[in-house]
Amino acid sequence: MIYITLGFDAAPAPPSGSGPAEDNVLVDSPVLPFSGLATTGIGIRDREDAADNRSLRTSRQFQQGIQHLASGVTVVTSSDDDGHWYGVTSTSVCPLGIDPPALVVCVHRRSGIGRELGRTKRFCVNILSREQRAVAEAFAGVGGVEDDRFDHGHWSSGTTGSPVLAGALSSFECVVDLIYGYPDRLIVIGNTQFVTNDADGADPLVYVSRQYGRVRPTGIGIASVL
């Protein structure tokens, strides 16, 4: 295991060698303060107010800009040895490499699955098709859906035990390799163990400009977002 601190204080690195995945989770890491604040002198309140305004403006600009980044929609799932299932909709998934095949997944650390990944040490990334928008909304908590989210779609335990969605474009069953703590997120690296690919060629579900869409190949090497 590798122990990594992302810009804030954490416990000392554990000794080398294998250890539980949760050793990497910085459970109590504080939210980072604005680094430019002065702590002494005249006008501290004014500088704090200015810093708060800049931070708020940057956050709004970030939200406005990042909405143009089209992302595939997935449901990330996990399970424990007692048979409990966990899952959440995520657009924060990307491949890390092919050799070994690995994925990076980001989840809220206080979400149901975020609280459990250090213990379950496994997850599955299910890539949704455009016909599975209702599944995406259920696992995103749209309409207050919480306890019965696995009633949406047809689910079964995969080879590693994590829930796998029937009809997903692809499902990647992974074991947790590393978990990085960031203020309110977990950045999880998974080593892919099994892959299931759907063969019917459905269009993937994407999220862009705060709405769902789909990607359709044009036949000339360019995909269009609809």
pLDDT at 59: 84
Of the candidates 183, 222, 210, the residue with the CA atom closest to the CA atom of residue 30: 183
Of the candidates 83, 144, 86, 140, the residue with the CA atom closest to the CA atom of residue 116: 86
pLDDT at 174: 98
pLDDT at 199: 66
pLDDT at 47: 56
- In tens digits, the chain (226 residues) has pLDDT values of 332 323 323 333 333 344 444 334 433 333 333 333 333 444 545 555 666 677 778 888 888 887 878 899 999 999 999 999 999 999 999 999 999 999 999 999 999 999 999 999 999 999 999 999 999 999 998 765 556 899 999 999 999 999 999 999 999 999 999 999 998 999 999 999 999 998 677 889 999 877 888 776 666 654 555 5
pLDDT at 31: 37
Q: Which residues share a beta bridge with 163? A: 157
**In sequence order, what are the residues at sequence separation of 6 or more whose Cβ sits closer than 8 angstroms to the Cβ of residue 123?**
76, 77, 78, 105, 113, 117, 162, 174, 176, 188, 190
Q: How far apart (Å, rounded) are the C-alpha atoms in residues 173 and 20?
A: 19
Which CATH superfamily hosts domain 71-225?
Answer: Electron Transport, Fmn-binding Protein; Chain A (2.30.110.10)
3-state SS assignment for residue 217: strand
pLDDT at 9: 30
pLDDT at 67: 80
Of the candidates 3, 218, 189, the residue with the CA atom closest to the CA atom of residue 105: 189
3-state SS assignment for residue 51: helix
pLDDT at 202: 85
